[in-house]
Amino acid sequence: MDSNTIVSWPRMSENIEGFALSPNKSEEVHVLAVDDSLVDRKVIERLLKVLACKVTAVDSGLRALQLLGLLDEQKIPSETNGFAQGLKVDLIITDYCMPGMTGYELLKKIKESSTFKETPVVIMSSENVLPRIDRCLEEGAEDFIVKPVKLSDVKRLKDYMTTKEAKVEGQDREGILKRKLLDTSDVSSSSPPSISSSSSPSVIDSPIRRLKMTSTD
């Protein structure tokens, strides 16, 4: 073959017998990770990406609230306002001990929000303090993970997101069923009343029967 000959190869399809070669971005799970420790943020980010999650990592509760659009802009310097407002987040995992705002305070802010109150929140801490754990769970946290975070801990996070999606789907199905029942009851109430057998004349009360009985007498 001539060395100057240009060989063109056919473009490989993005799907081979039903197997996608590129990930579907629309189905990607987005996790917001909050930790003031750079090392811990990198560990969480790496573990979550093993599970094919999209990760946004921030270093404080204030940055997390800003990302979620729940923070007054005057409470944080304007040069840090580079986050997208109203971003969709499927799960939030935050450290407990952070300067400025603790993970518990961040949890309360999220649960007070009408937009993100149903978003699962997981708390992390290097200290296994039972009263702290109970307080976070009572406030609405899905789980409390003791550091160092392991892959088995992170795998549980997807279970919380799956449970939430199943709950929403169940509520949708329940609403559809209620609407169908209401529609059925409306149709039944609007249908003409059926003729009762008691309203029809009996055989003995018919004119022909009475005439025959009179003739016999």
Instruction: Domain ranges for the chain, please list them.
Output: 30-168
What's the pLDDT at 60? 97
Degrees, nearest 5: CA angle 118-122-125: 155
Torsion angles phi and psi, residue 183, rounded to 5: -65, -40
* Cis, peptide link before residue 192, omega less than 30° from 0: no
What's the pLDDT at 17? 38
What's the pLDDT at 9? 44
Determine contact, residues 142/135, Cβ cutoff 8 Å.
Answer: no
What's the pLDDT at 165? 55
* Residue whose structure tokens are 């699962």: 120
Provide the CATH number for the domain formed by 30-168 in this structure. Answer: 3.40.50.2300
Other C-beta atoms lying within 10 Å of the C-beta of residue 200: 8
CA 121 – CA 70 distance, rounded (Å): 15
What's the pLDDT at 6? 46
User: In a structure prediction context, what are the per-residue pLDDT tens digits for the chain, which is 217 residues long?
Assistant: 555 544 444 444 444 333 333 344 546 899 999 999 999 999 999 999 998 999 999 999 999 999 999 986 545 554 444 445 557 899 999 999 999 999 999 999 999 999 999 999 999 999 999 999 999 999 999 999 999 999 999 988 888 876 555 555 555 555 555 565 666 655 555 555 554 444 444 444 555 455 445 555 5
Q: What is the pTM of this model?
A: 0.63
Take residue 8 and report the two structure tokens written for it: 């063109």
Residue by residue, DSSP assigns the chain as --TT----PPPPPSEETTEESS--GGG-EEEEEE-S-HHHHHHHHHHHHHTTEEEEEESSHHHHHHHTT-S-GGGS-GGG--SPTT---SEEEEES--SSS-HHHHHHHHHH-TTTTTS-EEEEESS--HHHHHHHHHHT-SEEEESSP-HHHHHHHHHHHHHHHHHHHHHHHHHHHHHHHHHHHHHHHHSPPPPPGGGSPPSTTSHHHHHHHHHH-
What's the pLDDT at 16? 32
